[in-house]
Amino acid sequence: MRREEEGDLIEGWNSSELPSLIKDRAPSPLWTFTFKVIPAQVLPRYEPSVITSGHSQHSLRYFSEQCLHRLAVLGHILYSNLTEGLIVGAIIESGVRDPHDPLCTSLAEAYATLDNALEDGVTYLSNLNVSSIAEDRQLTVEELINGATGSTQATTIMFEAVLDHYAMPDTYLNILKKGIAHDVPVITGNNKDENGATFGLDISLEEYYEEVNETYSGVWVKRFLDLYAANDSTTASGTYNSMFTDRSKVGTWFWTQLWYSTKSAKVWNYFWDHAPPGQTSGAYHGSEINHVLNNFPNGADTIVYWPAVSTTKKLVQHVGDGWGQIPIAWSKKLTLFKEWFATLVAY
């Protein structure tokens, strides 16, 4: 069902190159782009006098020139010097988080230092039993994957963003505080069953307490248990999911407030909670794309308008099994996450 309500989403996206990004765009596949799965192209390496990243810079520039003037789809591209002047709007579907959130090290935001990436590159070539990137590029996809796969997660080489202070100019916190990101409108949000929250979760009360003690330490264990209390296996599962869902929604709002501290372009946040039929993963990662981002192949109507994020109102747009702006989280929980994040390392 089409829902059009007062808001300024379309106004914020007006552009001669990208008129009314979502509303007027002809149905087409939603482009996404990442370096994580193409090691033959982005393997960091030393060159005489300079440090490069395989074809990553050339690939990013080419992709930007061909596609990103119409649609930016990845946070790393929004921040990169290589895409300056090429982006008029960004959809960060994988979401954004408070830069202090430890999940920044394991979700879409994860990045490696340049030194670690170069070390991984040497290890990777050794695993492949080749001595040059030219030889690396002659291998099959299966060989490339096997060369990165270790016996444990710790020994598996992860091809992710690299903080090289060029293609990725700085840490996420500094990018936001210094205003390094491109000043363009942004759509980003969270889904109910992702980033730590799991549809159909069934854990015991004891398991819940173990998880909380592993996630938090010191006084934070009690403070989180006070606000996310459980007394049996049924409430433990729901409370566990709620804690991670709130963490995502609150973190995205904090990111947005940091954005507004240096940028004038508006940001739109959403929270999606509809589980598409025919699957058992609930409102899983990516399940909102067709509905919220107008990606139905047959051009079906979709949600179009909702208000941009406010700097004062702690609200998020509910889409899916409901419609309208809702509180991000109970105010005491929002304060709890703010105070906890403030004690952690920033990424």
- Lowest-confidence range among 167-171, 216-220, 223-227, 301-305? 301-305
Helix axes 219-227, 205-215, angle to 10 degrees: 130
pLDDT at 307: 83
pLDDT at 8: 38
pLDDT at 300: 52
From CA 197, how far away is CA 246, in angstroms rounded?
10
Residue with tokens 């998880």: 211
- What DSSP letter does each residue of 220-276 carry, written as one string? HHHHHHHHS---SHHHHHHHHHHHHHHHHHHHHHHHHHHHHTT--S-EEEEEE----
- Lowest-confidence range among 68-72, 95-99, 133-137, 271-275? 68-72
pLDDT band at 137 (very low <50, low <70, confident <90, very high): confident
The model carries a pTM of 0.81
Angle at 289 (CA atoms; ends 272, 67), nearest 5 degrees: 140
Counted residue by residue, the chain has a size of: 347
DSSP H or E stretch at residue 141: helix 141-148
Specify the pairing of strand 186-191 against strand 267-272: parallel
Cβ atoms 176, 262 nearer than 8 A: yes
Mean pLDDT of 236-261: 97
C-alpha separations of 46 from 27, 49, 51, 120, 128 in Å? 43, 8, 5, 12, 18
Q: What is the pLDDT of residues 209-221, one digit of tens each?
A: 999 999 999 999 9
Cβ atoms 178, 262 nearer than 8 A: yes
The DSSP symbol for 72 reads B
Average pLDDT, the chain: 80
pLDDT at 171: 95
Residue 239 has pLDDT above 80, yes or no: yes
Residue 124 has pLDDT above 80, yes or no: yes
pLDDT band at 151 (very low <50, low <70, confident <90, very high): confident
pLDDT band at 12 (very low <50, low <70, confident <90, very high): very low
Considering only residues 76 and 261, tell me which one the structure prediction assigns the higher pLDDT.
Answer: 261
pLDDT at 158: 82
Residue 328 has pLDDT above 90, yes or no: yes
pLDDT at 74: 57
Copy the structure tokens of residue 233: 């296996």
pLDDT at 103: 95
Mean pLDDT of 33-57: 42
pLDDT at 85: 82
C-alpha separations of 331 from 6, 76, 220, 259 in Å? 26, 31, 17, 21
pLDDT band at 263 (very low <50, low <70, confident <90, very high): very high
Cβ atoms 193, 257 nearer than 8 A: no
Domains of the chain: 9-341 (3.40.50.1820)
- In the sheet with 186-191, reading across from the earlier edge strand, the strands are 90-92, 186-191, 267-272, 315-319, 324-327
pLDDT at 22: 44
Residue 101 has pLDDT above 70, yes or no: yes
pLDDT at 268: 92
Residue 325 has pLDDT above 60, yes or no: yes
The residues, ordered by sequence, that sit 6+ positions from 276 with a Cβ below 8 Å of its Cβ are 287
